[in-house]
Every structure is written in C-alpha cells, then in structure tokens.
Amino acid sequence: MHSLLIRALSVALSVGLYLALAILGGGGLEAFFSNPARTALVVVTLALGVASLFVGGNLSAGLREDRGNRWVILAFLIIGLLGAYLPAWADREGVWILDGDSIRWLGVVLVAAGGALRLWPVAVLGRRFSGLVAIQPGHELVTTGLYSRIRHPSYLGLLITALGWGLAFNTAVGVLLALLNIPPLIARMNAEERLLSSEFGAAYDAYRAHTARLIPGVY
C-alpha cells in the first residue's frame, strides 16, 4: 500500500507537470481546452498515467547496472519538458502548422496506441522492468509475444507516443522533438543489449540474431 501511494504521487506529479506545461504553452486553460482533440489528449494521458500504477516496473539498480548509461535519463527528461511545452506553444503561435484536425486526432490515437505499447512490456516483466539498465533478481530472458519479433517494444511505444503528442498539436515542432529521442534511445538499446549479452551469453546472441530492435524488416 505504501509503495502504491509513492507511485501514485510520483505519477501525479510527473503527469501533472507535463500537462501543466502543455496548458501553459497553449495559452491557458480556456484556450487549450477549446479544441476537442487537445481535450481528448489530456484524457488519454491521464488514463495512461492511472494504468501505469498497476503494471509494475521499478527504478532499482538490481544485481548489476550499467551506470554509464544514466545520462540518457537526463536527456529524456530535458526532451520531455521541451516536448510538453513547445508543441502547444507552436500550435498557439502558428509555427510550422501541419494540416488540420485530422492530424490532431491521428496524434491522439498514436498517443493511446504508443502508451499501451509502452506499458505492455512493463506488465509482462513486472519487477524485472527497471528504468535503469540493470539485471534484476530472478531476471529471465523473455522471447515470447511481442518479444518474439522485436527486442524493445517499450521503446517503440515511447517513440510512437512522442510522435503522437507532437501531431496532436498539429505542428512539425512536435515531430522534430519526437525525433530527438532517437539518439539517446539508440544509446540505451546499445547498453541494454551489451548487458543482456554478458548475462545470458549465447542464448541472447541467438535471440538477437533473429529479431528486430524496433521494426521488423527495417531496424
């Protein structure tokens, strides 16, 4: 119960800050919620935040961690804060506007789909899923479900969510910010795969040989 309360407070603060920055960038409550797609975006974001409370995951360094990869967390934080504010600001100011409400609703759908894809691996791995690059107690190599095709479904979900967030504000500014996630994500995947290869040896190397990182047949 105590850990759930801490998680709830953490999610409330992070989601609340993210949405507050977006509303501020969009010109305040009245201006922001004047568009139905932006309102739907808030509802989806809140729903994903609530769902995240019940899927597990942690920030434990576990039994063994690649501490040299922690800079990625700061990079994601900075990109996230910019991504919360700037697309809404660009939408309000008419900077690099795209093509109307159809783009906005596509963005909302992508946020919902990407968020679900982001949370699914956390639910599968439970306490073995860490926000750090680390081997957890009882760590096992999962190769079923989505993991039978792609090695990093949660990171694919993150990219889809970031792209959807940008599109929901109908501006290329958000798309460019979403793309900024790619370099730290690649660094993160490199670190994870090195660690898993050192832990599981030939079994992981064989798994890696017949799966894609993010998109089958592409990457």
SS3 label, residue 155: helix
What CA–CA distance (Å, rounded) separates 179 from 181?
5
Domain at 2-209: CATH architecture: Up-down Bundle (1.20)
What is the structure's pLDDT at 1?
59
pLDDT for 43-97, tens place per residue? 999 999 999 998 888 888 999 999 999 999 999 999 999 999 999 999 999 999 9
What is the structure's pLDDT at 57?
84
What is the structure's pLDDT at 59?
85
Contacts with 137 (C-beta within 8 Å, 6 or more apart), sequence order: 62, 63
What is the structure's pLDDT at 40?
98
pLDDT for 167-177, tens place per residue? 999 999 999 99
CB atoms within 10 A of CB 113: 15
What pTM was computed for the model? 0.95
Residue 2 above 90 pLDDT?
A: no
Domain residue extents for the chain:
2-209
Closest CA relative to residue 181, chosen from 104, 112, 83, 44? 83
Closest CA relative to residue 71, chosen from 177, 174, 188, 194? 188
pLDDT for 179-213, tens place per residue? 999 999 999 999 999 999 999 999 999 999 999 99
* Segments of the chain assigned E as strands: 64-65, 134-135
DSSP state of 65: E
Angle between helices 202-209 and 182-200 (to 10 degrees): 140
pLDDT for 20-38, tens place per residue? 999 999 999 999 999 999 9
* Segments of 32-179 assigned E as strands: 64-65, 134-135
pLDDT for 112-164, tens place per residue? 999 999 999 999 988 788 899 999 988 999 999 999 999 999 999 999 999 99
